[in-house]
Amino acid sequence: MISVNDRIYIKKYHGNDLTADYKRSYIVIEINNAKVKRENIMYFEKYAILENGHEQLLYSYNTITKERIFYVEKVPWYYYFLCGYFS
């Protein structure tokens, strides 16, 4: 799971597919929880504040269908050594 100080890629739609944009990574500064009700279905959404000051949706979870959609991808631990991501 994603936590504070993790480096992430933001997923974007490329056509109909939601895939990670590997051109830029961001560091998670803070994580917030919020419950949002849309179309009479209860969704649980988790948001993060990134190093650039923007709020990013991490994932949404439908409590009825148990479907979880991730909008970010965590940078694997070995990329820190291979690509020079040192904090």
| Residue 87, pLDDT above cutoff 50 | no
Rounded to the nearest 5°, which phi and psi values hold at 83?
A: -110, 5
Lowest mean pLDDT among 5-9, 10-14, 35-39, 69-73: 35-39
* Mean pLDDT confidence for 57-66: 89
- pTM metric for this prediction: 0.77
Whether the Cβ atoms of residue 54 and residue 60 lie closer than 8 Å to each other = no
Q: Residue 81: which residues within 8 A CB-CB, separation 6 or more?
A: none
The confidence band for 42, taking pLDDT boundaries of 50, 70 and 90, is: confident
Residue 62, SS3 per DSSP:
strand
Distances (CA, A) of 9 to 37, 42, 58, 62, 72: 27, 27, 10, 23, 6
